[in-house]
Amino acid sequence: MREVPLLDLKRLDPELEDELQDAFTRVLKSGYFILGPEVEALEEECASYCGAEHAIGVSSGTDALLVALMALGIGAGDEVICPSFTFFATAGCISRTGARPVFVDALESSFNCDPEDIERKITSRTRAIIPVHLYGRCADMAEILDIAERHDIAVIEDAAQAIGAEYEDRRAGSMGRIGCFSFFPTKNLGACGDGGLVTCQDAELADKIRVLRVHGGAPKYYHGVIGGNFRLDALQAALIRPRLRRLDDSSLRRARHAAAYNRLFEEAGLTGGTSPPLRLPETPPSRHIYNQYTLRCSNPDSRAALREFLAANKIASEIYYPIPLHLQKCFSSLNGRKGDLPISEKLAGEVLSIPVFAELEEEEVSHVADRIAAFFKES
Ligand SMILES: *Cc1c(COP(=O)(O)O)cnc(C)c1O
């Protein structure tokens, strides 16, 4: 069996490749490279796909979060609640505005933030909550929206890993004040470079974000506020559009791979009993888009041994994320200590993501599951 990568962006359907080549040529010949009609078309298509009133294309998922916080006027003296068990950008952007990230613990069942811990950590300075829909599964939005409403604070959804994921019948990015998406190539909807998107329901807020996107100039060269260069390239927008048309199909394939893994691991007897060698990701009632399929090993040592065994079998795997943010060196001034967020720390020691990308073949899924079963049989 050949190598199984975690993601292979070179596996291009020929029809898609043709459409991408056409998009490239179209933009090249238009001479219009920043914002413009391709970006506007993508914005409209994404707003409709996400069930949001407004969508604003931006330079990255990170900049989507940053401009969202800026648009809400968040800065020095403010606190913003976010999970510790997430990608760095969620909290990095909070700090960059001058506000303080306040980390909450995760739930073992969903890897997402624990609504009870959110409520405990609200203070008079709390201005926003940023739930992350980690790995493509929505956070407990009903509870989070309820808490936010009772305390009159904004919810910014970090939907970077979750475009098209659903909570009950609503889509990621359409539930909070603002939704933030990334088109980084490893996300379910990836560009051929960097890109991001902000969604919101409120026209005034959408206008504010559009102005911040171009250094706060409105009209051009008249700056009422200080923004940044958060613009999206026309070329990236044009290259995303053909993939957006295939997004449902590709996310469905990921979900099929995930279901196959679940079945194969159960059949191999790896998930039963009181201390099973593997814990599978829970299947939520609403649509999970499986940006990652993430297993839990029983402890860091068994995970390290499994990873090594997989590497020796040419199967890629990755740890998203090995160090919870409250323990990162750059946040040491916030005084986070080991033991503060026990579930996040435990998950960081146990999680392992295995290949689940759409273009993976069924035999590859079976092969990965077979090798994992072999590891536990041998050990
Ligand atoms: C990828 C990601 C981001 C940042 O997106 P970029 O486009 O890489 O800047 C933010 N938050 C989460 C949860 C992500 O996974």
- DSSP letter assigned to residue 275: S
Contacts of 336 (CB under 8 A, 6+ apart): 84, 103, 325, 326, 327
CA distance 190 to 187: 5
For residues 45-68, one letter each, b for 16 or more C-beta atoms within 10 angstroms of the residue's C-beta and e for the rest, the string is bbbebbbbebbbbbbbbbbbbbbb
Atom index in ligand 1 nearest the CA of residue 90 equals 11
SS3 string, 210-265, reads: HHHHECCECCCCCECCCCCECCCEHHHHHHHHHHHCCHHHHHHHHHHHHHHHHHHH
Residue located via tokens 């990652």? 292
Q: Is the CB of residue 196 less than 8 Å from the CB of residue 231?
A: no
Beta bridge partners of 236: none
CA distance 326 to 335: 8
Give yes or no for residue 59 CB within 6 A of ligand 1. no
Contacts of 155 (CB under 8 A, 6+ apart): 128, 129, 130, 131, 144, 145, 148, 175, 176, 177, 178
How high is the pLDDT of residue 193? Answer: 98
Max Cα separation, the chain?
Answer: 68
How high is the pLDDT of residue 2? Answer: 81
Question: What is the pTM for the complete model shown?
Answer: 0.98
Whether the ω angle into residue 219 lies within 30 degrees of 0, i.e. cis, is yes
How high is the pLDDT of residue 99? Answer: 98
How far, in Å, is the centroid of ligand 1 from the Cα of 162?
A: 10
Element (H, E) at 55: strand 54-58
Atom index in ligand 1 nearest the CA of residue 132 equals 13
Q: Is the CB of residue 61 less than 8 Å from the CB of residue 183?
A: yes
Q: Is the CB of residue 125 less than 8 Å from the CB of residue 77?
A: yes
Best mutation site among 7, 184, 189 for ligand 1 pocket (most ligand atoms within 8 Å of CB): 184
Atom index in ligand 1 nearest the CA of residue 62 equals 9
How high is the pLDDT of residue 310? Answer: 98
Beta bridge partners of 34: 233
How far, in Å, is the centroid of ligand 1 from the Cα of 188?
A: 12
Atom index in ligand 1 nearest the CA of residue 195 equals 7
Give yes or no for residue 61 CB within 6 A of ligand 1. yes
CA distance 99 to 128: 10
Phi, psi dihedral angles at 354 (to 5 degrees): -120, 165
How high is the pLDDT of residue 273? Answer: 82
Both structure tokens of 19: 């459409």
Give yes or no for residue 320 CB within 6 A of ligand 1. no
pLDDT in tens, the chain (379 residues): 789 999 999 999 999 999 999 999 999 999 999 999 999 999 999 999 999 999 999 999 999 999 999 999 999 999 999 999 999 999 999 999 999 999 999 999 999 999 999 999 999 999 999 999 999 999 999 999 999 999 999 999 999 999 999 999 999 999 999 999 999 999 999 999 999 999 999 999 999 999 999 999 999 999 999 999 999 999 999 999 999 999 999 999 999 999 999 999 999 999 988 889 999 999 999 999 999 999 999 999 999 999 999 999 999 999 999 999 999 999 999 999 999 999 999 999 999 999 999 999 999 999 999 999 999 988 7
Contacts of 310 (CB under 8 A, 6+ apart): 316, 317, 354, 368, 371, 372, 375
Sorted by where each starts, the structural domains of the chain and their CATH numbers stand as: 14-105+112-244 (3.40.640.10), 247-378 (3.90.1150.10)
How far, in Å, is the centroid of ligand 1 from the Cα of 378?
A: 38
